[in-house]
Chain A
């Protein structure tokens, strides 16, 4: 395990989020150190996605502060589009652009946001596709790719921008079981390359092998946090225990 660096890459403090009358995040604190992999579990509706989306301001927190790589995301003077290049995000439903090739998906932001020329963007995009094992699929349309391949293109799209942290929201939940492994493999390699990651997932095997810390969320709060071995085998909280035994046996 990596010792925590002096300044965390992600520092979210006292995050509250309301959707109308619904209080979804109730004062969440989260610090993620450089090269750390934080794994988030919790029942459906507990606010995991909302928390993740607050970390790149896809969701605006009602209160609290979010600082990523030294940038205060909630400061109105922050150029959010610039900041978001440093925060990669991977979604449950892949969200590839269906009208563009795999390479087109990967290079769009490189050209439009990072200001690279086409040739340079293509070279970076090709390298990113190679990293996820899809160098030979650059010219394919998303519809011609399996779910696992689509998700790996989505990962390539994010890492091509050289983010400082990657957010994964249930990246394998929409996949057929036989395709899950290829995506987890790419995530493991990413982790080994030193990427800082926040992963919302139910893949406990992956968490055991790759996570530094596991957070258990329930009803908008972080109930418990600790190393995977402790959270999975000997959770301190009854709610955590109940949840763990439920996902183990399903």
Chain B
């Protein structure tokens, strides 16, 4: 058997692939579900924290900055493992899925908060003053005048960060989440052949390549066009 044949046999083994592609497909759906939950909850929580921070309540802001820095500093895998193996000691037993979801949502929340906050503070003071001078309240000004401008500048960095963190769903395989990588790994150990990993990589590409392209489009679409 030549090198090429061995390579194909190892990574593109048709028999193994035929057997395990349904597993990889179900892994793809788990990854999609997990990613969607992380994106929605992480972004909402990050936006909520940034809006809270704009109220300018000192002790609250210290707390927010502390939490944000914490989750930006810790490696996501460490957070996942802490929640999965640590919470049961306080009688909460999150599944691997929930542990991964919470962990990555917290990480996304932290980075999103910083990005939203940077966007809010980048809006010139004059915008606040003009709106307030016409009688708009703080909340109306924040939501109706400042936030729409802030969102525009935050969308490109937010898109990139969201993609990066969502790819971390693969870490769920460490705590027995049957997402793409988890399914691929167990298929590899069952079949003694790495071809399922090839399928897994293909599944990630199918999922994330359109998202990356979409992100690129959003980036050009929202580039500050005043």
Contacts and interface: CB of A to CB of B under 8 A. Distances in A.
Nearest to B143: A112
Contacts of B226: 98, 142-143
A142 B225 CA distance: 11
Interface in B127-156: 127, 129-137, 140, 144-145, 148-149, 152
B133 A108 contact: no
Interface in A163-187: none
A112 B139 CA distance: 11
Given A98-B149, A112-B140, A161 B126 contact: no
Interface string A99-118: 10000000011001110000
Contact of A109 (B134, B148, B149): B134
Contacts of B148: 99
A161 B135 contact: yes
A158 interface: yes
A162 B137 CA distance: 18
7 contacts: A56-B133, A81-B135, A81-B137, A87-B133, A89-B129, A95-B130, A98-B226
A99 B129 contact: no
Contacts of A154: 130
B135 A84 contact: yes
A113 B137 CA distance: 8
A91 interface: yes
Nearest to B224: A98
Contacts of B126: 91, 93, 95
Contacts of B140: 112-113
Given A108-B144, A112-B144, A95 B129 contact: yes
A16 interface: no
A161 B136 CA distance: 12
Interface of B: 124, 126-127, 129-137, 140, 144-145, 148-149, 152, 225-226
Interface in A76-92: 81-85, 87-89, 91
Contacts of A97: 127, 130-131, 145, 149
A108 B145 contact: yes
Given A95-B126, A97-B127, A99-B152, A89 B136 contact: no
Contacts of B131: 97, 108-109
A81 B136 contact: yes
A113 B134 CA distance: 8
Nearest to A106: B134
B127 A95 contact: yes
Interface string A200-240: 00000000000000000000000000000000000000000
Closest 5 CB pairs of A and B: A95-B130, A109-B134, A95-B126, A113-B135, A89-B133
Contacts of A95: 124, 126-127, 129-130
Nearest to B137: A81
Given A58-B129, A93-B126, A98-B226, A161 B134 contact: yes
A95 B127 CA distance: 6
Contacts of B137: 81
A91 B124 CA distance: 13
Given A89-B133, A98-B149, A114-B135, 13 more contacts: A81-B137, A83-B135, A88-B133, A88-B134, A89-B130, A91-B129, A97-B131, A97-B145, A99-B152, A109-B134, A113-B134, A142-B226, A143-B225
Contacts of A81: 132, 135-137
A108 B134 contact: yes
Interface in A41-61: 56, 58
Contacts of B136: 81, 108-109, 112-113
A157 interface: yes
